[in-house]
Structure 1
Amino acid sequence: MDAIHITDLRVWAHVGVLDHERLHGQWFSLDLTLRLDLTKAAKEDDLDSTADYSLAVQELQSLVATLKCQTIEHFSEQVLDLLEHLYGPVAMRVLLRKCAAPIPGFGGTVAVERHRHWTV
């Protein structure tokens, strides 16, 4: 199956367990994958035969402008719902990373990976 990938989409969102994370916000990075047949779009140069990824980016910008929640798991669920609303029940994957988790002495990222309609 073919796929469209959006990688390292950086968004500012008000998500976190700590009050200041939800109040002030922080950076997150998203990787999105949509698995679908791109044959017709590739052969005929037809935008209507593919998933217009610019719609996902625009809708994600709107989502993060209003979203306030505690967990990145809930944030990822909102992203999956948005993608399914835009593109229907296609196989999709979201990798959502919190870029700077407020954990003393920790310098890495924390991430969740979620799937919907995904078969191995």
Structure 2
Amino acid sequence: MYQITMHNMRFHSHIGVLPEEKVVGQNIQIDLKVAVNAVPADDDLKSTVSYADFYPTVANVIQNNRVNLIETLAQIIIDAIKNIDRRIAAVNIHIRKQGTPINGVLDDVEIEMEH
């Protein structure tokens, strides 16, 4: 087993509870760690999982979902990544939501989920 990690994927989303979050949206950053239960053989991509499939899968989920909670978004992304290949054993995701409507000074709000 080994892990594939993608850092700081960036997207514009319309996720949030407040109406203005659904209209204006906000930037989010995503880190993805995928545990793969495979043994690469003979330098052949078919013997492993292609990480090139991860970014478009995440982008598609974000484009097609306007959920209220980033926790819900995280679970949808985890499910979508795990559906790419049966050799994906686990997915860990960090989602950072920037520009959150919180009365205070902070860079972002982040959740972490693994399944």
**Would you call these one fold, judging by a TM-score over 0.5?**
yes
The corresponding residue for 1:19 is 19
Structure ranking higher in helix proportion = 1
Structure 1 gap segments, 5+ residues each? none
Match of 1:36 in 2: 36
Q: In the aligned structure 2, how far is the partner of 1:38 from the partner of 1:87?
A: 11
Please give the residue correspondences for 1:1-120 in structure 2 after superposition, counting only pairs within 5 Å: 1-37=1-37, 39-41=39-41, 44-88=42-86, 89-116=88-115
What is the distance in 2 between the residues matched to 1:37 and 1:81?
A: 17
Q: In structure 2, what is the Cα distance between the partners aligned to 1:109 and 1:76?
A: 16
Instruction: Report the count of equivalent residues.
Output: 114
Deviation string for 1:62-101 (max 9, x for gaps)? 2211210111100101111111111235121011111221
RMSD: 1.6
SS of the residue aligned with 1:114?
Answer: strand
Calculate the TM-score normalised by the size of structure 2.
Answer: 0.88
Q: Please give the alpha-carbon distance, in whole angstroms, between the structure 1 residues aligned to 2:8 and 2:14.
A: 18
Tell me the CA shift for residue 46 of structure 1.
1.4
**Cα distance, 1:38 vs structure 2:** 5.6
For residues 50 and 40 of structure 1, what CA distance do their matches in structure 2 show? Answer: 5
Provide the secondary structure at the position in 2 that maps to 1:90. strand
TM-score normalised to the size of structure 1? 0.85
- SS of equivalent to 2:13: strand
Large movers: runs of 4+ above 4 Å:
none
Percent pairwise identity: 26
CA contact (8 A) 2:96 2:110 kept: yes
